[in-house]
Structure 1
Amino acid sequence: MNRIVTGIGALLASAAPVLAGGIERAPQSLAPLFENGNYAELSFGGVNPSVKGTDVAGFATGDVAQGYGFFGLAYKHQFTPNLSGAIIVEQPFGADILYPGANSPVLGGTAVEVNSTTYTALLRYKFDNNFSVHGGIRGSHAKGSLSLRGEGYGGPPVPTGPDDPPGVSGYDLDIDSAWGVGWVAGVAYEMPEIAARVSLTYNSPIEHDFGMKETFTIPGVGTVPVGNDSYEVKTPRSWTLEGQTGVAADTLVFGSIRWVKWSEFKVDNFVFPTQTGAELVEVEDTTTYTLGVGRKFTDNWSGSVSFLYEPSEGDTVSPLAPVNGRKAVTVAAIYTMDNIKITTGINYTKLGDATLGVGPSGAKREVADMDDSEVWGIGVRIGYSF
C-alpha cells in the first residue's frame, strides 16, 4: 500500500501539471520527503500543447503554444528515525508562446519564453504522535524574453483614451538570468496503519532582481533602446493541501487543493506600466482541485486514475499566458521490483476557452478568442530506495 501512495505522489508531480494557471508547469511537490528510508529519483517527460483561436480581425492565430520537455532530480536521506532531509531539483515555472507571424495580423510575431530551475533543501522532523513538520529554503534561477507584435499592440506610444491599445507593437524585452531565494514550511499528520496522510505546505514568494534590456523595433528606423536597468519580479506564493487514505484492501483515494496568488506576479520596468498605464502581464489567482483513486493489482503492478479541475478566473487573460481554466485526467502505471520503482503517467488536459485582452486594467481591449485547446503530456519517474 505504501508503494502505491508514494508512487501516486510522484506521478502527480511529473505528468499531471501541464500549462496550469499563470506560467506554472509543476506544483513544487515535496513527495520525495515522505518516502521511506533513503531514496533517490530521476524524472523526465514531454508535453505537447495545442492552443489556438481566432483574432478580432477573423484570422486564425495558429497553434501558439510550443511543446517542451522537463526533468527533475531528488535525493532524500533518513538521518535518524525522526529526522530526514531532501534536496529537490525541478522546473516549476516556464513559458514558450509564439503567435506565427504569417497567421494573425493582430498578434502575429508576439512571443514569450521563460525558463526556470529551482533547488529546494528541506528538513522534516517526525514527532511520536504521528505529526511532523517540514521546511527549508528554495533557490530559483530564471531568465526570459518577449516580443510584442501586431495590430493588437499598435497605436500611439501612450494611450489617449481608455479604449486605445497600449501602443507597444515592436517592443522587445530581454531578461538576464538571475537568482532568487524563498522558503517552504508545512505540517503533516499520518496514520500508517491505513496509509493515510494529510499535509499542508506553504511556498513563499521568490523575488528575483533581473537586469532588463528594453528596445523598440521601428519599421524604417531599426532597433531603438528605451531602457536598461534592474527590476524586481516576484514569483507567486502558494498553499497546497494534500490528503490520501486507504479505503479498502490495496485501494486508496487521494486528492489536493492548491491555491496560487498569481496576482502578485508582476513584471515592472521602464515601459510597463510606467509609460503605457498597463501591466505587461496580468494573471488572476488560481485554485486547482485534484481527486483520484489508486489500486494495487499484483506484487509488482499498481495503477491510478486522477481528475483535475481548475476553474476559469477573470474575464480576459494576457496573450502571453493564453490559458483560462482546465480539466484533466491522468492515468498511471507503477512497476516495482525490489528497491526500484518506475512510474509512468499519461495526461490529457482540456483547456478552457479564453478571451485575450490588452490595455489598462478595467479597460482591456479584446484581441482574440482561444478555443478548442488541449494538452497531451507523458512523464516517467524512476525511484530507488536504499
Structure 2
Amino acid sequence: MPESSSLKLNPILLGMLSIFFSSMSHASALEQSGQSILPFLEDGNYAEINLFAVDSSVSGVVKDRPDLVRENQSRDTGDIAQSTQFYTAAIKLQLTDQLSFGVLYDQPFAAKVAYPQRSNNSYFDNDFSQQGTSVKVDSQSISMIFGYSPVNNFQVYGGPVYQEIKGQVALRGNAYTEAYNGYNANFKRQGEVGWLVGGSYQIPEIALKAAVTYRSKIKYSVQVDEDMLGEPLQLTASEKTKLETPQSLNIDFQTGVAEKTLAYMNLRWVNWKKFDTSPAQFTALSKIIMEEATEGAYTKGFKLDAYQKDQYSATIGVGHQLTEKWGIATDVSWDSGTGNPASTLGPVKGSWSLGLGAQFNPAPNYFIAAGMKYYWLGDAKSEDGTYYLPIEGIKPIAEQAEFKNNHAIAYGLKIGYRF
C-alpha cells in the first residue's frame, strides 16, 4: 500500500469522473441525466458545462395478429428511437471554510420516440393522417444548493429545485384500435418546485469522497389539450392532469486505491412505480372502451403511460492519472429498467453499458474531458396499457410486439474551470 501522499491526485483526475456520473440513465422510463450533484462537491470555486448526444437504435417485431398487422405485410416496426442532445451546467462557490453555494442546471427527464412509416399499419396511420405513433417529453431544472460544514471533512447540504416539463403524445395505427388511432395530447409547459437534501464526507489524504443525496418528488397540475386528428375531444368536463416526477436517491463514492488511481461508484434509485399520466378525455374514452369490452364488468379505464417497477442503477469505474496533463477512466453500468412488458412508448427493459473517457488539462485551473458509453438495451415485450388490468385473459391481447437486440451510444463533452 503506497503512502497516503501518493494518493493525492491531481485535479485532472478528480474532475473527469462526473462525465460518467452525469451521463444518461438511458433505459429507464423518462430518465436522462441521472441528476448528479457531483459538481457541488468539487473543491474551492468551480464551474462546468456538459454536452451530451445519444444515438439509439430500437426496433421490434409485431405479433402476427390480424388486429395488429395488415395481411401479407412485414411485421417490422422500423427504428423508433430518435437521436437526442442535452446539456447540463453548474457553478459552485466556496463562500467561507464552512459555507458553500451552488447552482445546477439540468435536463433530467426526456423521451423522443417516433414510429416510422410501415405498410403493416401497426403503429403508423397510412389511411388518414400519414403519421406514426410518437412521444416527445422535455424537462429542465435549476437546483440551488446551500452547504454547511459543522466539522472538518463533513458537509450537509440542501435547497430548492425549480423544474419545468412539457410533452406531446400521438397514437397512430391498428395497435390503438379505431378509438385511439388519431389521438393527440399536448402537455403544456408547467413549472413547479421541489427540494433536495444530502450529506457528504471526505478524506483528502486518500482522495475519498462519499455523498448521499435525496430529491423530492415534484407534483404538477398540467393543462393538456386533447384532440382526435385535430378535432377537440370533449367526452367529459375539461380539467388539468395531475402527475408527478419521481423522488430519487443517489449514492456517490470514490477513493484512491493505488498511486494515481481512483475507484468510483454511483448507486441510484428512482421511484418510477408511482408515476402515471392519464389526461381527462383519454381517461373518459378508456372507461367507455373497457366497459363495452367487458360488458360492464370493468369500468375504471386505463392509463396513457405508467411504470410498474422502480428503477435501480449502478455504475462502477476506475480512473488513472497518466501524466500531469492527461487522465483516462472506464466504467461499467447496470440499469434495472421499470418493468416488462413495457409501454409501446418506451419498449426497453434496462441496460448494461461500458464507458470510456479521457481528459486533457492544458493549465492547472481548467480541463476538457470527452467520453462515450455503449448501451446494450434489454429485450422487452410492448403492451398497450391494459396489460395490468384485473381482467381475465387480457394479457395476451395487450401484448403487441417483441423488441430485441437493441443498443445506444452516448457521447459526452465537458469543460471545467476552477477559479
TM-score by length of 2: 0.84
Is residue 172 of structure 1 aligned with residue 184 of structure 2?
yes
Partners of 2:256 and 2:263 within 8 A in 1: yes
Q: Which amino acid counterpart does residue 400 of structure 2 have in structure 1?
A: V
Cα shift at 1:18: 4.8
Cα shift at 1:274: 4.4
Corresponding position of 2:316: 291
Cα shift at 1:101: 2.9
Taking a change above 3 Å as real, the CA distance of residues 357 and 13 of structure 1, as seen in their structure-2 partners, is same
Corresponding position of 1:35: 42
Distance 2:196 2:365 in 1: 29
Where 2:240 maps in the other structure, the secondary structure is strand
Alignment map for 1:352-371 (pairs within 5 Å) = 352-360=378-386, 361-362=388-389, 363-364=394-395, 365-371=398-404
Partners of 1:19 and 1:323 within 8 A in 2: no
Unaligned runs of 5+ in 2: 1-8, 65-73, 125-131, 287-300
Partners of 1:76 and 1:84 within 8 A in 2: yes
Partners of 1:303 and 1:333 within 8 A in 2: yes
227, 230, 233: which is aligned to 2:243?
233
Where 2:239 maps in the other structure, the secondary structure is strand
Distance 1:44 1:204 in 2: 25
CA offsets, 1:30-77, max 9 Å, x none?
111111111111111211111111111361111101001111221111
Cα shift at 1:224: 3.9
Corresponding position of 1:50: 57
Give the percent of matched residue pairs that are identical in Structure 1 and Structure 2.
Answer: 33
Corresponding position of 1:378: 411
Corresponding position of 2:19: 11
Cα shift at 1:130: 2.1
Taking a change above 3 Å as real, the CA distance of residues 173 and 252 of structure 1, as seen in their structure-2 partners, is same
Taking a change above 3 Å as real, the CA distance of residues 359 and 43 of structure 1, as seen in their structure-2 partners, is closer
Q: Which amino acid counterpart does residue 150 of structure 1 have in structure 2?
A: G
Where 1:59 maps in the other structure, the secondary structure is coil
Distance 2:275 2:338 in 1: 15
Cα shift at 1:103: 5.1
Partners of 2:13 and 2:327 within 8 A in 1: no
Partners of 1:212 and 1:230 within 8 A in 2: yes
Partners of 2:233 and 2:281 within 8 A in 1: no
Distance 2:104 2:43 in 1: 16
Say which is worse superposed, 223-232 or 18-27, in terms of deviation. 223-232
259, 263, 284: which is aligned to 2:269?
259
Where 1:234 maps in the other structure, the secondary structure is strand
Unaligned runs of 5+ in 1: 156-166
Where 1:62 maps in the other structure, the secondary structure is coil
Taking a change above 3 Å as real, the CA distance of residues 146 and 23 of structure 1, as seen in their structure-2 partners, is same
Is residue 279 of structure 1 aligned with residue 303 of structure 2?
yes
Taking a change above 3 Å as real, the CA distance of residues 25 and 312 of structure 1, as seen in their structure-2 partners, is closer
Q: Which amino acid counterpart does residue 133 of structure 2 have in structure 1?
A: T
Distance 1:91 1:85 in 2: 20
Cα shift at 1:338: 2.0
CA offsets, 1:131-168, max 9 Å, x none?
2111111111111100111111105xxxxxxxxxxx42
Where 2:349 maps in the other structure, the secondary structure is coil
Corresponding position of 2:217: 205
Distance 2:260 2:170 in 1: 52
Where 1:229 maps in the other structure, the secondary structure is coil
244, 252, 255: which is aligned to 1:245?
255
Corresponding position of 1:321: 346
Where 2:343 maps in the other structure, the secondary structure is coil
Distance 1:6 1:235 in 2: 31
Q: Which runs of at least 4 in structure 1 moved beyond 4 Å after TM superposition?
A: none
Corresponding position of 1:25: 32
Corresponding position of 2:69: none
Structure with bigger helix share is 2
Corresponding position of 1:124: 147
Q: Which amino acid counterpart does residue 374 of structure 1 have in structure 2?
A: H
Is residue 107 of structure 1 aligned with residue 123 of structure 2?
yes
CA offsets, 1:201-244, max 9 Å, x none?
10111122211111112xxxx62433743222200111111111
Corresponding position of 1:268: 278
Distance 2:59 2:275 in 1: 24
Say which is worse superposed, 102-111 or 56-65, in terms of deviation. 102-111
339, 342, 358: which is aligned to 2:368?
342
Taking a change above 3 Å as real, the CA distance of residues 133 and 48 of structure 1, as seen in their structure-2 partners, is same
Corresponding position of 2:204: 192
Is residue 73 of structure 1 aligned with residue 89 of structure 2?
yes
Cα shift at 1:118: 0.7
Partners of 2:78 and 2:118 within 8 A in 1: no
Distance 2:51 2:109 in 1: 15
Q: Which amino acid counterpart does residue 349 of structure 2 have in structure 1?
A: N
85, 96, 99: which is aligned to 2:101?
85
CA RMSD between the two structures? 1.7
Partners of 2:139 and 2:163 within 8 A in 1: yes
Corresponding position of 1:96: 112
Cα shift at 1:188: 1.3
Distance 1:239 1:103 in 2: 44
Where 1:29 maps in the other structure, the secondary structure is coil
Partners of 2:367 and 2:416 within 8 A in 1: yes
Taking a change above 3 Å as real, the CA distance of residues 323 and 285 of structure 1, as seen in their structure-2 partners, is same
TM-score by length of 1: 0.91
CA offsets, 1:103-136, max 9 Å, x none?
5522221100111111111011123242211111
Where 2:281 maps in the other structure, the secondary structure is coil
